[in-house]
């Protein structure tokens, strides 16, 4: 898949996407033809990142609509699609974008499969323009808070084109800043346990020729104390009405360290990542993943047999630790976000 092509698209009959599990070693394309394929791709993180799983979920409903609805099937077909939609929406619980996107295409179900596909296509196009607007606002938010000529930016997980239909959120912002000659170096947390930073963000930065180094997650606070970080930029999976942010596990620790060192901590995420039905971040459902991700590495067990693991995929950063949350609508400082 070429850098200018979206990492997820509809080829007329199926979803075509880059298999993120194979990166950076192999550029393997996946062709998803059934709802079960889509659910497997989402749960195994072949497709990952909040906006991308939303779009995959929406296209999963398209597959279901073509499979179950032909003229005359009416209620029975619609019920089958709604059941598939419920399975798709619950494939991963934390990113609100998934349920949001599935619900949005479902509103077109009674108009037929072509209408469901048309809505999913609009959403992919929208994600592109939302990325652009968000990045413009975020670049301004960073430069307002970090007026120095050239920046050292720390980021976590992967929030680039692999996680969206276009340039990305936080990583899209970093690429735009780099293009404007404003980036000295990006420090990339490896992002244990699945290494989205080391495997995917480093891959995107190398592709764009942006200077970067990867560090273990636990080196981030030390890097801040040594003056190696001017700003932290991350994405989000769900943002509550008061601005608490769920994002990849480790984000909360970064925010605490950044606050301690007086370093701006900026979240870049689309409006579709907001869940205003929740006030408090403690109400966000956090996905717990398999112990194997922590108790072994590259298929080799690293812990004694029988050792159990605590493996939350996300954590919640309270609004009080966040300098700014940027969406396509502009820059909010958490104190302006109303509950």
- The catalytic site residues sit at 237
Tokens describing residue 221: 């606070």
Contact residue for ligand MRU among 54, 193, 197, 235 (CB under 6 A): 235
Contact residue for ligand MRU among 163, 175, 198, 325 (CB under 6 A): 163
- Neighbouring-strand partners of residue 300: 297
The smaller minimum CB distance to ligand MRU, of residues 48 and 182, is found at 48
The 3-class SS string of the chain reads CCCCCCCEEECCCCEEEECCCCCCCCCCEEEECCHHHHHHHHHCCCCCCHHHHHHHHHHHHHHHHHHHCCCCCHHHHHHHHHHHHHHHHCCCCCCHHHHHHHHHHHCCHHHCHHHHHHHHHHHHHHHHHHHHHHHHHHHHHHHHHCCCCCEEEEECCCCCCCCCCCCCCHHHHHHHHHHCCCEEEEEEECCCCCCHHHHHHHHHHHHCCCCEEEECHHHHHHHHHCCCCCEEEECCCEEECCCCEEEECCHHHHHHHHHHHCCCEEEECCHHHEECCCCCHHHCCCCECCCHHHHEECCEECCCCCCCCCCECEEEECHHHCCEEEECCEEECHHHCCC
- How far is 92 from 216, CA to CA, in rounded Å? 26
The smaller minimum CB distance to ligand MRU, of residues 108 and 252, is found at 252
The residue of the chain with the least Cβ separation from ligand MRU equals 235
Binding of ligand MRU by 169 (CB under 6 A): yes
CB of 235 to ligand MRU, least distance (A): 3
Q: Is 108 annotated as a binding residue?
A: no
Number of residues located near ligand MRU, criterion CB under 6 A: 19
Q: Is 50 annotated as a binding residue?
A: yes
Binding of ligand MRU by 173 (CB under 6 A): no
CB of 78 to ligand MRU, least distance (A): 30
Q: How does strand 274-275 pair with strand 238-240?
A: parallel
Q: Is 306 annotated as a binding residue?
A: no
Contact residue for ligand MRU among 17, 131, 155, 164 (CB under 6 A): 164
Binding of ligand MRU by 17 (CB under 6 A): no
Which x/- pattern, by CB under 6 A, does the window 43-82 give for ligand MRU? Answer: --x--xxxx-------------------------------
CB of 246 to ligand MRU, least distance (A): 8
CB of 22 to ligand MRU, least distance (A): 15
Contact residue for ligand MRU among 55, 81, 95, 183 (CB under 6 A): 95
Do 94 and 284 contact (CB within 8 A), yes or no?
A: yes
Contact residue for ligand MRU among 7, 196, 323, 327 (CB under 6 A): 196
The smaller minimum CB distance to ligand MRU, of residues 103 and 287, is found at 287
The smaller minimum CB distance to ligand MRU, of residues 49 and 93, is found at 49
**Footprint on this chain of ligand MRU (rule: CB under 6 A):** 45, 48-51, 95, 157, 159, 163-164, 168-169, 196, 235-237, 247-248, 313
List the binding residues for substrate. Answer: 48-50, 92, 196, 247-248
């Amino acid at each position: 898949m070429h850098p200018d092509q979206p990492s997820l698209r509809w080829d007329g009959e199926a979803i075509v996407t880059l298999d993120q599990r194979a990166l950076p070693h192999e550029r393997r394309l996946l062709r998803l033809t059934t709802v079960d394929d889509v659910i497997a791709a989402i749960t195994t993180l072949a497709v990952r990142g909040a906006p991308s799983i939303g779009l995959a979920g929406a296209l999963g409903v398209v597959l279901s609509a073509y499979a179950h609805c032909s003229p005359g099937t009416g209620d029975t077909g619609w019920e089958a699609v709604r059941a598939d939609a419920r399975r798709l929406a619950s494939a991963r619980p934390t990113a609100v974008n998934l349920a949001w996107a599935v619900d949005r295409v479902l509103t077109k179900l009674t108009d037929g499969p072509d209408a469901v596909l048309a809505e999913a296509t609009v959403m992919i196009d929208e994600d592109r323009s939302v990325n652009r607007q968000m990045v413009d606002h975020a670049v301004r938010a960073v430069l307002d808070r970090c007026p120095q000529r050239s920046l050292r930016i720390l980021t976590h997980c992967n929030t680039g084109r692999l996680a969206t239909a276009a340039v990305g959120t936080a990583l899209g912002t970093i690429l735009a800043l780099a293009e404007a000659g404003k980036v000295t170096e990006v420090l990339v947390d490896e992002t244990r346990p699945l290494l989205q930073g080391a495997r995917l963000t480093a891959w995107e930065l190398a592709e764009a020729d942006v200077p970067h180094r990867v560090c273990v997650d636990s080196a981030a606070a030390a890097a801040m104390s040594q003056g190696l970080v001017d700003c932290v930029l991350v994405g989000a999976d769900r943002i509550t009405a008061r601005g608490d942010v769920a994002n990849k596990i480790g984000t909360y620790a970064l925010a605490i360290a950044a606050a301690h060192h007086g370093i701006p901590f900026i979240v870049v995420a689309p409006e579709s990542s907001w869940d205003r039905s929740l006030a408090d971040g403690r109400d966000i459902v956090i996905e717990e993943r398999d112990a194997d991700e922590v108790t072994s590495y590259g298929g080799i067990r690293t812990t004694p047999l029988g050792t159990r693991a605590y493996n939350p995929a996300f954590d919640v950063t309270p609004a009080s630790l966040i300098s700014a949350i940027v969406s396509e609508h502009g820059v909010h400082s958490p104190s302006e976000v109303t509950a």
